[in-house]
Each structure stands twice: as C-alpha cells, then as structure tokens.
Structure 1
C-alpha cells in the first residue's frame, strides 16, 4: 500500500536542473582564441571561476557579510584571469566581454532530463520545491524559459535570509517547515557538498552525478539515492518513498 504521507522534494537549481554550459560557450565565443593562445581552456576557466565564486560567496556568508552570488561571480572575473596567468587582465578582456558573458549567464538552460525528472516526481505525488543561491527573478526566469511551472511560493533563495548554503542555518527553516507537514522531505542536487550538508539537517539526500561525476562518498558520507541522470534519480526517490 502506497504511503499517504506528504511527499516533498527540494532541488538545488543552478548546476543541478540548470546547466552551466552557456557560460562556457560565452567564454569560448568571446575570448576563445585569445584564451587558447595562453594555453587556457575556456571551460576550465569557467569552472574555476564558478568554484572560486562558491568559495568567496560562502566565506562572506560565514563571516556575516552576505553578498548575492551573481555580484560575487561578476566581480571575480578579473581575478580569475590573473590566476589563470594573464598578467594584465583588464587589457586582455574588456568590460564588454564581461557584459556578454553575464548576459549569457542570465539565459542558462535546463539540463537534459530535467523536465522529465520534475514531471515524474509530480506524477508520483511529490511537491517540488526549488532552493537556490541565485536571485529569484533570474532563477524563476530559467523555469519560465524552459516551460516548467514553478509556483512562486515554492521558489526560495538564500538572498531572502542572507545565509548561504551550505551553512546548516540555510536549510533548517525549510526542513523544519516541511517536516511539520508530515513525511520525510528530500533534498536533491548535483553538488555533493550541497546535498550532503542538507542531509545533516534532516533531509533525505538524492545526488545526481551529471555535474561532478564522482560522488566521493569517502569525503561527503552516505546518501539515500545516487544516480547518473536526473530521471533515474527521480525514479529512485519515488521507489524509496513508496516503501
């Protein structure tokens, strides 16, 4: 007999349901030949830029000086060129180059299987929530562009509380709210640091390897669900919720 308890699943959005590919493509389009001439692969620059932003965003939050992710990302561009070996970053790339990349950042697209993943979960009776470090207008726009309905009341941002993931305090109000509804809420992400942190606050964890490939459980611990694709992750969550 299927469980009648409420079923809720919270998704990280950018990097999980949303791909970073447009950022990498923008760097390739705007600066590709110049970067390659310096032996800098555009996709690797894009990755290190994102990862450095995650760190600085988190450190600012931990020190009580929260700054929205997009602002941190934009401001770190010149530093990343320096770290990549460019001696004069502001001569190598222009303000217009950065504006082009940031414009494309506003147009990120859903990963393959994202729509199917959400549809499967909703079809199985799950209420789908979104919890992002991004701003609500931008992330809400990603869903609208993809044709995926996401009620405003189910779209949440760290910007609202001024506490960034993976601080436990970022997840706690949401997990408490969902547990009060009944059932065991899930948190789903393609960032192992994110879902493993959510899991320590009381969420069940679902991890997809689509972004990082290696789960590294020896670093981050156990996980209720690990899958290689978003639809497979949805199927495994549904199966466990039915037990």
Structure 2
C-alpha cells in the first residue's frame, strides 16, 4: 500500500487532487480496441495494437514539438493529425476506420478503479479536478461518457492558456482556479514526463506507472509511484 505523502515541515496537507485525463483516468487504447472488437472488424483487429501505439506516441510528440516551437493547435487537431500519421504507417486497411476511431476517442473507457478513487477523495472532503491537454469539448464528452461529472469539481483545459503541458502556464491553471498554493495540490499522471513536470512546478506529484516503465531522466521526479489509481486514497491519507 502506498505511503501517504508527508508535507514538508510547516506545509498544509493536500486539499486538491488533480488528475491528468488521457492515459490516467481514460484508457487511450480503448478507441482502437473497442472498434476491433466489433463484428466484421477482423482485419482491423490484426493491426489495432500497432496503430494505437503509434497514434498515442505521435499525439504526445506533436504536443511537445508545437509547445517548443510556439505553434499551438488544439488537442483535437493534434489527435486527428496523429491518427492520420498512424493510419499511413500501418497501411491502407486502417484508412476506412478513421472517422469511427475519432468518434470513439470522444468516449474513451475510464479505467475501472477511477470512479472509486474519486469517490473516496470527495467523501474525505478533498476537491478533485482534471488538468488536461484536451479541449473543453473533448473533456466534457469523456467525463459525461464515463459518468464522472458529479465526481469532479473542475475540468481544466490548457486551451485557456494556449500551450501544452509540461509548460508551467498549464500547471498554473490549478492554482488560479482553486486559489491554493502548489504545495497543497496532489497531481497524478500516467505520463512520467507529466508527473516530472508537475513536480518541477511544485505540486506533490505521483506517477501512475501502469506499464512499469523506467523513471524519466529529467531534473524532477515524482514523490510517489503507483501501479494504478486504486492507491490514490491511501496516498492522499484518506484511506
């Protein structure tokens, strides 16, 4: 069981728990996997794992490159462009599935342990939120589809600052919205680079390392590493 994060001497306990959305609360592989499971999709079923992997990798790469170059496009545009790259990479049999994949991406499956973790945090009096690269309408669709609307106090999109995480301006949205200092925020992400960026910003960051990957070689490291979201209440000291 994860140990609760102990605040630095003189610091208050975390009062807000903030989650990345894609890959943390919502399974980014679900769009391709669910399409492959539909009747008549046997050909797509043979290629979906590779397509999904390339799609996600390019989606993230495009956010980093756009942020570094100062050429922003919203996350829905980036997601579609990454899918186009992935379709070309895996072959023509994936091309007819483009629109279906994009539609399914709007209603990704939530990880099964996510609702219970959010309920436990809210029952203990902590405020909960999403901070995501996703656009407001993408996030609204995902939250509604997952039935999580009543489990979140806020859904924050980087579109309001026009730069993707891990830019400090993106993390600053949490302090601005909730009116709390960074040290009172527990931030959770399945992306090692995101957890590192949040730690560098000053959040109490935890990495949800679902894949068992190595820790990123960056200047900052998360204060805790979890296998999934089931350990979040204990980490927050409410279980």
For the aligned pair, the TM-score class normalised by the smaller chain equals 0.7 to 0.9
Q: Structure 1, residues 136-159: CA drift from partner, whole Å, max 9, x if none? A: 122122222332235887111011
Structure 2 gap ranges (5+): 1-10
Q: Structure 1, residues 159-179: CA drift from partner, whole Å, max 9, x if none? A: 121110112232134346656
Per the alignment, residue 222 of structure 1 pairs with 221
Per the alignment, residue 62 of structure 2 pairs with 56
Would the alpha carbon gap of residues 6 and 80 (structure 1) be closer, same or farther in structure 2, given more than 3 Å must change?
closer
Task: Report deviation, 1:101.
Answer: 0.8
Choose the corresponding residue for 1:77, options 83, 97, 116: 83
Q: Is 1:19 aligned to residue 18 of structure 2? A: no
Give secondary structure in 1 for the equivalent of 2:78.
helix
Per the alignment, residue 149 of structure 2 pairs with 149
Give secondary structure in 1 for the equivalent of 2:236.
helix
Residues 120, 231 of structure 1: 8 Å contact kept: no
Which runs of structure 2 are paired with 1:18-167 in the superposition (5 Å)? 18-26=26-34, 28=36, 29=38, 32-33=42-43, 36=46, 41-84=47-90, 86=91, 89=92, 92-94=93-95, 96-150=96-150, 154-167=154-167
Give the CA RMSD over aligned residues: 2.8
Residues 115, 151 of structure 2: 8 Å contact kept: no
Give secondary structure in 2 for the equivalent of 1:207.
strand
Number of aligned pairs?
226
Give secondary structure in 2 for the equivalent of 1:56.
helix
1 or 2, which has the higher helix percentage? 1
Structure-1 separation of matches of 2:17 and 2:172: 14
Give secondary structure in 1 for the equivalent of 2:148.
coil
Would the alpha carbon gap of residues 111 and 163 (structure 1) be closer, same or farther in structure 2, given more than 3 Å must change?
same
Structure-1 separation of matches of 2:215 and 2:94: 39
Task: Report deviation, 1:102.
Answer: 0.8
Structure-2 separation of matches of 1:82 and 1:144: 31
Per the alignment, residue 234 of structure 1 pairs with 233
Q: Structure 1, residues 200-230: CA drift from partner, whole Å, max 9, x if none? A: 01100112122x322x236245322222121
Structure-1 separation of matches of 2:99 and 2:196: 34
